[in-house]
Amino acid sequence: MDVVMPQLGETVKQGTVAVWRKKVGDRVEKDEPLFEVSTDKVETDIPAPAAGVLSAILVPEGETVPVGTRLAVIEVAGEVRSAPSAAAPATPVATGAAPPPAPAARPAPPFRREEGGPRLSPVVRRLLDEHHLDPAAVTGTGADGRITRDDVLAHVARTQREATPAAGDATVVPMNRIRRLTAERTARSVAVSPHVLQAVEVDFSAVDAARRASADAWKSSEGFSLTYLPFVARAVCEAIGEFPHVNASVRGESLLVHPHVNLGVAVDLGFEGLVVPVVKHAQRRTLGELARELRALAEKARRRALSPDDLAGGTYTLSNSGPFGTLLTAPIIQQPQVAILSTDGVRKRPVVVEGPDGDAVVVHPVGVLAQCFDHRAFDGAYSAAFLKRVREILERRDWSAELT
């Protein structure tokens, strides 16, 4: 015989077990006081529903549970023994001519507590975790007192208002899915990988010369302008050929060096998030192919049309803040990769060049390339040598030959 939380009033939905009057194993008589319940309206003794032995107490003193929750089991002489588990109530299912499909046919199970805590939905767990809240602190307004997402958000908004009266007019902006993923991944990456930043200054005159020379032809045949990014991508792919550990993942105590360069490129979605589509087998692509592919992926990203495949499998990443004219960015590594390169703003600067007649100051387009690498994978000398090679390729290559 189950003992359940009684409904002590029309509007009462839950009650707290204040005191158990019997211990497990005690003999109880029918109508003998068994436990005391307190609600926000009353405190009252509840009599035993049957005579027998109190074989289990399922809800300890002090706990608040919804009406109908099993609280204890009385073993009645002659009754078939049932395990005192927290099984669903054995309400018979009415079968009509056209029963709605399960689980619709069953009444919603009463809200139960497990291991002393309430049952929480995934979003509620996440929100409680993000705001470092104890579920007990949040008042549930859902069915049977369940804590809903709105309950947590309301609680957070209220406590923030109370905690920062001066900022009472602050707007609460819930993070979208991409924001949350980015938050989680960047935090994890920084925790996992010891990041080291190294930067080199690159003279983009050679790149710029080729870019200008073919600007009109390129624009008219391709329909978009050629940026610095594909040149950097091409140089990185080539340099990786000589410094393959840059294109790797840490697995346990080994470095997994990848045979292909799958080049991720971070794309901003109009300040609404960041995605990193991947150019597969980038090392096989010509400069022109890289330019087209990068352009296509960025377009696809902005149309929100990237497929999961487009985002998978990256082995090295470029982060391009250059268009905003940044001086230097320390990017965060995309796990499980071991390095990431930021291309920052290219600006005209006075540069000293050595000529046969001595040094001269000329104006050249110059920009910084900054790589963050995972110190577990290799050391600063390796990274620096890689960056040096990237710079050499960008500065010395006859790029015009690659665009014809």
Told to check if 305 binds other proteins by CB under 8 A, we report yes
- Is residue 281 annotated as a catalytic residue, yes or no? no
Considering only residues 271 through 300, tell me which ones interact with other proteins, judged by CB under 8 A. 280
- Interface segment toward other proteins; rule CB under 8 A; list 22-30, 43-51, 137-145, 332-340: 137-145
DSSP string, 237-297: HHHHHH-GGGSEEEETTEEEE-SS--EEE-EE-TTS-EE--EETTGGG--HHHHHHHHHHH
Tokens representing 303?
Answer: 């149309």
What's the CA gap between 82 and 14, in Å, rounded? 25
Shortest Cβ 278–other proteins spacing (Å): 13
Tokens representing 326?
Answer: 């940044």
- Is there a contact between 260 and 283 (Cβ–Cβ < 8 Å)? yes
Told to check if 104 binds other proteins by CB under 8 A, we report yes
Shortest Cβ 15–other proteins spacing (Å): 19
Considering only residues 110 through 129, tell me which ones interact with other proteins, judged by CB under 8 A. 121-126
Told to check if 307 binds other proteins by CB under 8 A, we report yes
What's the CA gap between 370 and 1, in Å, rounded? 72
Bond before 336 cis per omega within 30 degrees: yes
- Is residue 208 annotated as a catalytic residue, yes or no? no
- List 77, 90, 94, 98, residue binding other proteins (CB under 8 A): 98
Told to check if 107 binds other proteins by CB under 8 A, we report yes
Strands 52-57, 27-28: pairing is: antiparallel
Task: Give the count of residues interacting with other proteins (CB under 8 A).
Answer: 28
Shortest Cβ 142–other proteins spacing (Å): 5
- How many CA within 13 A on the CB side of residue 365? 17
Told to check if 146 binds other proteins by CB under 8 A, we report yes
- List 143, 215, 327, 362, residue binding other proteins (CB under 8 A): 143
- Interface segment toward other proteins; rule CB under 8 A; list 20-28, 72-80, 140-148, 353-361: 140-148
Considering only residues 56 through 75, tell me which ones interact with other proteins, judged by CB under 8 A. none
**Residue 265, Cβ density class (10 Å: 0-12 exposed, 13-18 middle, ≥19 buried):** buried
- Interface segment toward other proteins; rule CB under 8 A; list 23-31, 207-215, 269-277, 301-309: 301-309
b/e sequence 112-134, b meaning 16+ C-beta within 10 Å: bbeeeebebeeebeebbeeeebe
Told to check if 81 binds other proteins by CB under 8 A, we report no
Considering only residues 156 through 215, tell me which ones interact with other proteins, judged by CB under 8 A. 177, 180
Q: Which residues pair with 360 in a beta bridge?
A: 353
Instruction: Give the single-character DSSP code of 313.
Output: -
Catalytic residues, which ones? Answer: 375, 379
**Binding-site ranges for other proteins (CB under 8 A):** 97-101, 103-104, 107-108, 121-126, 142-144, 146, 148-149, 177, 180, 280, 304-305, 307, 309
